[in-house]
Structure 1
Amino acid sequence: MKETFRWFGSSDSVTLADIKQTGAKGVVTALHHISNGEIWEIQEIQKVKNTIENAGLKWSFIESIPIHENIKLRQGDYLQRIENYKQSLKNIAHCGIKNVCYNFMPVLDWTRTHLFWKLDDGSTALRFDKVEMAAFEAFIMQRKDVEKDYDNAILEKAEKRFNEMTAAEKQRLQDGILKGLPGTVDDLTISQFKEMIAQYKDISHQDLKNNLSLFLNEVIPVCEENGIKMAIHPDDPPFDIMGLPRIIKSENDLEDLVNFIDSPSNGITFCTGSLGANPKNDLPKMIEKFKDKIHFLHLRNVKREADGSFYEDHHLEGSSNMFEIVKAVLKIEKEKGISIPMRPDHGHQMLDDLKNNNAYAGYTAIGRLKGLAELRGLELGILKSNIF
Structure 2
Amino acid sequence: MKQIFEQSWRWYGPQDPVKLTTIKQAGANGVVTALHHIPVGDVWTVEEIEKRKKLLEESNKKHSFPLHWNVVESLPVHEHIKQARPEREKYIENYKQSLRNLGKCGITRICYNFMPVLDWLRTNVRYQLEDGSTALLHNLEDLIIFDLFILKRENAEADYDAEMVKKAKAKYSEMKQEELDVLKQSLLMALPGDKEGFTLEKLRNGLKDYEGISAEKLRTNLVEFLEEVIPVAEEAGVVMAIHPDDPPWPVLGLPRVVSKASDLDYIFSQVPQKSNGLTFCSGSLGASAKNNLPEIIKSYYDRIHFVHLRSVQLEENSRFYEANHLEGSAGMYKLIRTFYELQKKNKRQPIPMRPDHGHEMLDDQGKPYYPGYSAVGRLRGLAELRGLEFGIVNTLENQ
- TM-score by structure 1 length? 0.97
Per the alignment, residue 111 of structure 1 pairs with: 121
- Which ranges of structure 1 fall in alignment gaps of 5 or more residues? none
Return structure 1 stretches of 4+ with deviation > 3 angstroms: 183-186
1:61 touches 1:101 (CA, 8 Å); kept in 2? yes
1:202 equivalent to 2:209? Answer: no
**Deviation string, structure 1 residues 317-368 (Cα, Å, up to 9, x no partner):** 1111111100011112212222111000100000000131x10100011000
Aligned counterpart for 2:374 among listed residues 364, 370, 373 = 364
**Is contact 1:224–1:265 with CA below 8 Å preserved after alignment?**
yes
CA displacement 1:153-202 (0-9 Å, x = unmatched): 22122222223223232222112112132346831111111111011110
Deviation string 1:42-97 (CA, Å, 9 cap, x unpaired) is 11111011102322310010000100000000014100000000011111111110
Corresponding position of 1:19: 23
| Correspondences of 1:236-247 after superposition (within 5 Å) | 236-247=246-257
1:234-274 CA deviation, whole Å, 9 max, x = no partner?
00000011000000000101111111211121000000000
Paired residues of 2:6 and 2:350 also in contact (CA < 8 A): yes
Q: Which residue of 2 aligns with 1:344?
A: 355
Q: Which residue of 2 aligns with 1:267?
A: 277
> Residue 325 and residue 288 in structure 1: after superposition, are their counterparts in 2 closer, same or farther (change >3 A)?
same
Give 1:146 deviation, angstroms: 1.9
CA offset digits 1:282-310 (Å, max 9, x no partner): 10011011111100000000011111110
Residue 326 of structure 2 corresponds to residue 316 of structure 1: yes
Partner of 1:43: 47
Structure 2 CA distance for aligned equivalents of residues 235 and 53 of structure 1? 34
Paired position in structure 1 for 2:244: 234
> In the alignment, what sits opposite 1:120?
130
* 1:3–1:341 Cα contact (<8 Å) kept: yes
Unaligned runs of at least 5 residues, structure 2? 61-66
Q: Determine whether 1:58 maps to 2:68.
A: yes
* RMSD of aligned alpha carbons: 1.3
Which residues in structure 2 correspond to 1:1-388 (within 5 Å)?
1-56=5-60, 57-183=67-193, 186-337=196-347, 338-356=349-367, 358-386=368-396
Q: Which whole-Å CA distance do the structure 2 matches of 1:322 and 1:212 have between them?
A: 30
Cα deviation, 1:119-158, whole Å, max 9, x if unaligned, reads 0000000000111100000110111222222222221222
Q: The residue matched to 1:355 in structure 2 has which SS?
A: coil
Q: Are the equivalent residues in 1 in contact too, given 2:192–2:370 (CA < 8 A)?
A: no
Name 2:64's counterpart in structure 1.
none
Amino acid at match of 1:284: P
Q: Secondary structure at the match of 1:386?
A: helix
Q: Is the 8 A contact 1:295 1:341 kept in 2?
A: yes
**Whole-Å separation in 2 of the counterparts to 1:266 and 1:32:** 23
**Residues 183 and 330 (structure 1 numbering): CA distance in 2 closer, same or farther, change over 3 Å?**
same
Q: Give the count of matched residue pairs.
A: 387
Aligned-partner SS, 2:396? coil
Which range moved further: 188-197 or 264-273?
188-197
| CA–CA separation in structure 2 for the residues paired with 1:266 and 1:281 | 21
Aligned equivalents of 1:291, 1:251: Cα separation in 2: 13
- Point out the more displaced range, 123-132 or 170-179: 170-179
SS at match of 1:156: helix
Matching residue's letter, 1:63:
E
The one-letter amino acid of 1:16's match is L
Identity of counterpart residues, as a percentage? 47
Residues 34 and 183 of structure 1 are in contact (CA less than 8 Å); yes or no, is this contact kept in structure 2? no
State how far apart, in whole Å, the 2-side matches of 1:53 and 1:59 are: 10
| Structure 2 CA distance for aligned equivalents of residues 55 and 256 of structure 1 | 43
Kept in 2, the 8 Å contact 1:108–1:180? The answer is: no
Asked whether the 8 Å contact 1:270–1:294 carries over to 2, the reply is yes
CA distance in 2 between counterparts of 1:343 and 1:375 reads: 9
